[in-house]
Amino acid sequence: MAQRILVLVLTLTAVLGCRIERRVPAGAASESDRVREVVTAYYRALSAEDRSGFLELFAARGTVAGPAAEPHPAADYWASVGPRLAAGVRPAEPRASRVQIRVQGRLATAWAATDWSSADATAPGRSERALFFLIREGLAWRLVTVGIDDTL
């Protein structure tokens, strides 16, 4: 009987020990959290009309492909979107309603469904889906390509 209790206690200890080892240490951000921060910063830069903040998120040859459009360098995309932002055409407040992230070594993808409320209270908001491809450069994640579909 004592032997069975000892085996049970040792088994429980081993199971609990394995469970503890799989947890991310307190204060340490996971790679998924870092990717999520880049996606959030992307939407924040668009909303704040922050050109430099937007461009800093991209790798050297980063691109953005809008709905039914070929990929363009991020700076060219900003040049086409910037005037619309300044004119108040782009809705002001993004809220990611769903984000899925997958990290594989130095590469990551994130899929986001985002609802935009309108800057004009009388205008309707809109929804869009975006697929983000990222690469880790050193400790930082950079956007390689963002594909946008606003046909929701």
pLDDT tens-digit readout, 77-128: 888 776 665 555 554 566 667 889 999 999 999 998 877 665 555 555 667 7
Listed in sequence order, the DSSP H helices in the chain are: 2-21, 31-48, 51-56, 74-86
Could you tell me the pTM of the whole model?
0.71
pLDDT at 140: 94
Q: Which pLDDT band, with edges at 50, 70 and 90, does 143 fall under? A: very high
Greater confidence, 39 or 17?
39
| H or E element at residue 111 | strand 107-117
Burial of 16 by CB count in 10 Å (0-12 exposed, 13-18 middle, 19+ buried)? exposed
Identify the structural domains of the chain with CATH numbers, from first to last: 32-149 (3.10.450.50)
- How does residue 37 score in pLDDT terms, banded at 50, 70 and 90? very high
